[in-house]
Amino acid sequence: MIDMNDFYLISTLAVSSILSIWLFYYDVKHFKLPNIGVLALALLAFLFNYLNNFTLVSLNNMFVGAIVGFAFLLTIRAIANYYYKRETLGLGDVKLIFAIGLWVGYPNILITLSLGAFLGAIIGYSLVIIGRIRKSESMLQSSSRIPAGPGFIVAMFIVLAQIYSSLLYILLFT
């Protein structure tokens, strides 16, 4: 029998998953991450970890993860924008990493950043190839633009699965 707290935990995960899938698709389609979606993902991280009594990701680790991820990606963005003399990484991606940092905490945000960059390249170039095969730019408007958000979102799910594997087993199978 699932108690109410478990129900709320599962519901929060379900809503967060749906929201993340929407953010993934929206970023692929529009090269933007809506502030309201990123903010909702951040608030859901607080709710989920609160309902879980901050047992797997402490409140301190949430904040450190969010700040480290945000600062790291903002620095990368500033350096790349200066070097290439154009917008290279959107602020939506930086804000998304802040929200993801609240979910995964520190030091897991470092794994998420690394994995997200790798997966983002794979996802982005796959979309470029699909667009070329279809002889259309429907998935990506320009082959030089690759959305970063989808890679970070997939990386977040992978890292969360590792962090919360024991909790998910308890919630779903006991």
Span 43-85, pLDDT tens digits: 999 999 999 999 989 999 999 999 999 999 999 999 999 999 9
> Helix axis angle, 149-163 relative to 91-104, nearest 10°?
0
Please name the residue that has the structure tokens 């859901």.
Answer: 44
In this prediction, residue 125 carries a pLDDT of 86
Residue 56 per-residue DSSP state: S
In this prediction, residue 169 carries a pLDDT of 73
Q: What is the mean pLDDT of residues 29-56?
A: 96
Please determine, for residue 22, whether its predicted confidence score (pLDDT) is greater than 60: yes
* Alpha-carbon torsion (106, 107, 110, 116), positive or negative: negative
Whole-model pTM: value is 0.89
Q: Which residues of 117-132 are buried (b: 16+ CB within 10 A; e: fewer)?
A: eebbeebbeebbeebe
